[in-house]
Structures are given as C-alpha cells and as structure tokens.
Structure 1
Amino acid sequence: MDDDAWDLLRDERLSLARTLTTLSDAQWATRTLCTEWTVRDVVAHLVMTPAGEPSLSVMAAATARARGNVWHASRDLTRRAAARQSPGELVRAVEESAGSRRRPVFVVDANILPDVVVHGQDIAVPLGLHRQVPAAVAGVALSRLWSMGFPFHARRRLAGVRLCCADGTNWTAGEGPEVSGSAGALALLMTQRTTAALSMLQGPGVARLEARLAHA
C-alpha cells in the first residue's frame, strides 16, 4: 500500500476506537455478523494484525490442532487473545497501534483496510449503530474486495449485477441491474454477510441476488 492508504487505515482504526469507547459490557459480549465471534473477539482480531500476530509457527500449530481448518484455528486463537484483554485494554491497543504497518507474514497489506471496514460493520450492525465509511476509504476497500479471489470471490458470486456505492463516491463494479447502497452494505455483500447486506441495499438487482440466494 502507498502512504495515503496507510493513513486511511490509521484513521479508520481510530474511528473504530471512538465507537468502541461508547459500548457497554453487554454490547462487548454481543454476537457479531462474524457469527462465531463476539464484539470483544472481533476487536482482539483487529488488534492482533498490527502486532504481527499470530506468528507463522503459532498459526501452524493452531491449524494442526484444528485438524487443518484454518478458519477454526483463527477463531480459537482470537478467542484466547480476547480472553486475555479487557475491553478497555483492547480499545487502548487499537488506538496505540493505529499507525502500525506491521502484520502477520501471511497477511497481504492491501487486505488490512478492507478487514477493518468489514469488521467495523460486523460490530455495528447487530448493535444498531451506523458506521459511515469515508469516501476515500470506500474506494480503496471496495476495489480490493471486488478484485480478491479467495476467500470471497465477489466478482464470481455477484456476476450479473452492477454494484453502486451511494456514499459520496463514484465507485461501481460489475454489469447488470443496479444494486446500490452504502459502502458498508456493499462490503458486507462482497464478504458473504449476504442476509444482513441485502436488507440494506436497493435497486432492481437486489431481487436477482435474492432469487439466486434462494436457489443456492
């Protein structure tokens, strides 16, 4: 990523930290759209990245314990990290690491900003909170999510519709009937939080996606 993108990441982390300072204990324990994680777990995950955690050896050992399932390994490591830190400690860690460019060796730089954007929505939506994604952040994050293959394959899954961001940016992708909405909603759609995303989107392409989902 270039310096501008790192600056956007820093600002998005700090914005999330401000949201987190308003949460009650019950909200920290709420299940997120990342369904196997609570708010506390998701924040622990976001803190691990700029700390360069997990290391490759730790991840390999966790994956072996999870019988080769990388997702279960990540889930379990994150839950253990969350249990070691209070909500206040996690907020401070988000703030203090906001400008960090560190990451685990197996994480791609370009994926970090979309990760923060998506997990911010994972937290906010179940809590009934609105997290506006700044236009500059939206352009970078949505473009990356659209271009990625594994694990979401957005271009393939969402073929046949045209995505349009309504958050003050001209970002569009795809061809077909329009699906429009906030950057947060589009990010959720592209990362397979489909049920939550469709309720936040508009346009003739939504019906096509709903029909496709019903027959999936």
Structure 2
Amino acid sequence: MDHATLWRHIHTERAALAATLRTLTPQQWAHESLCTGWSVQDVAAHVISNPQIGWRQLPAVFADAARLGYNEAIFRDVRRRGQQPREQIVADFERWATSTRHVPTTTSVETLVDALVHHQDIVRPLGLHHDPDPTAASVAADRCRLLAGLLGSRRVVRGVRMVATDTDWARGSGPVVEAAMVELLMLCAGRPADPARLTGEASDALRALV
C-alpha cells in the first residue's frame, strides 16, 4: 500500500473513532476496554496521543521505560492521558486526526494498527460494531503477524491458516479459520475475535480461546 493511501486509511479510521466517541455516555467512557486496566477514555486518549509525541517527548518516554519497564511506562502514560476531560480528548481528535506525524522510531503502519485495533478495543466491550476497510485491516494484520511475539499472538499466528472472506488475503499454514478481515486482525493482534464470525476447521479451537 502506498504512503498516501495508508495515511488516508489512518485519517478515515481516526474520524470514525471520533464519531464513535461523540455518541458515548459518561458511563460508556468509563467502561473497561479490551485492554486490561484501560478504560475506553484511556484508550481514546492513547490513540490520539500518537501524533502528539515527537522527539522532544522521547527522552522522558525512554527514561520511564528504563526505570519502570516498557509496559508499565506505557500503562502510566495512558492512565495519565486518560485523566484529561472527555471534551479535551474529542477536541484533540478534531485537531490531530488528519496529522501525518507519528511517534518517532515507529512507522506509519504501526499508526494504522493503533487506530484500527484500538477502535475495536473500545467498541466491542460496549456492544457496538464497526468494520474498518478490509484492505487497511489486512495491512495492519500483516504487521501484527511480524510483531506476534510482542502481541502475544504467536501461537495462533503459527498454528492456523487465516483466510479473509471480504478481501484477497490468506496467511499461515495448518487448520483453516475463515472470517472477515477485522476478525483476523484481532487474532493477529492478540485480541479475541467474535466467535460467531469464525468459520472453518480451526474455528472451534479458536472459539475456546475467546
């Protein structure tokens, strides 16, 4: 996928997430997301922090990671950002949604993963539904497969053949699981897929994991 198209998908997904956030009640903002220990508000603030973190902020990020460990540093940063008023987070989406900045040392593909997966982290626990563009989801899924060791999805990625039902994408070997691309992205990202949307010989085994 070319650079301009990639950013178009990122901007589209950020706009869709902003639209989702504007519909939520205070109780939904406070609801637990799919990220353990993170509320919907925490995740929303984290997503739109991506274009706001530049080289000036990195020394503090690295110092916290060295002192606390990477995961704990990220967790503390997320919780701190999640303390902002909801109105400020929505305003940040309006200001930064079309930015092409991203955290230094990462790529725009990680920014796409961040937007797509975290939108699902927000809507699914709330019983809401959002299907991103399947082509964008396939690009994100390929990057998640490369990062499977960090995302906790290595066993699934290496153990099944994933076949998308809504775009031309198939990866892996072994028993087959078929699903919409967004469900396969969730599996690659170490998240639970919707068991009702999984088919194929490996679907029963995967349902037992969600």
* TM-score in terms of structure 1 length: 0.86
Change in Cα spacing, 1:139 to 1:193, as seen in structure 2 (3 Å) is closer
1:179 has 2:177 as partner: yes
Q: Residue by residue, what CA displacement relative to the aligned partner does 1:21-76 show, whole Å, maximum 9, x if unpaired?
A: 1000000000011111000000111111011258221112322442xx21111110
Which residue does 2:64 correspond to in 1? Answer: 62
Query: Which whole-Å CA distance do the structure 2 matches of 1:109 and 1:97 have between them?
Result: 15
Which residue does 1:204 correspond to in 2? Answer: 201
Larger mean CA deviation between 43-52 and 88-97 belongs to: 88-97
Q: Output the amino acid matched with 1:158.
A: V
Query: Could you tell me how far 1:158 is from its partner in structure 2?
Result: 2.3
Q: CA RMSD in A?
A: 2.3
Q: How many residues align?
A: 208
Query: Which whole-Å CA distance do the structure 2 matches of 1:188 and 1:46 have between them?
Result: 17
Change in Cα spacing, 1:158 to 1:209, as seen in structure 2 (3 Å) is farther
Query: Could you tell me how far 1:189 is from its partner in structure 2?
Result: 1.1
Query: Which whole-Å CA distance do the structure 1 matches of 2:164 and 2:103 have between them?
Result: 31
Q: Tell me if structure 2 keeps the 8 A contact 1:178–1:203.
A: yes
Change in Cα spacing, 1:208 to 1:13, as seen in structure 2 (3 Å) is same
Which residue does 1:108 correspond to in 2? Answer: 107
Which residue does 1:44 correspond to in 2? Answer: 45
Q: Output the amino acid matched with 2:184.
A: L
Change in Cα spacing, 1:146 to 1:81, as seen in structure 2 (3 Å) is same
Q: Output the amino acid matched with 2:145.
A: W
Query: Which whole-Å CA distance do the structure 2 matches of 1:76 and 1:154 have between them?
Result: 24
Change in Cα spacing, 1:79 to 1:153, as seen in structure 2 (3 Å) is closer
Give ranges in structure 2 of 5+ residues lacking alignment: none
1:119 has 2:121 as partner: no
Change in Cα spacing, 1:200 to 1:73, as seen in structure 2 (3 Å) is farther
Matched position secondary structure for 2:163: strand
Q: Tell me if structure 2 keeps the 8 A contact 1:155–1:174.
A: no
Give ranges in structure 1 of 5+ residues lacking alignment: none
Larger mean CA deviation between 86-95 and 14-23 belongs to: 86-95
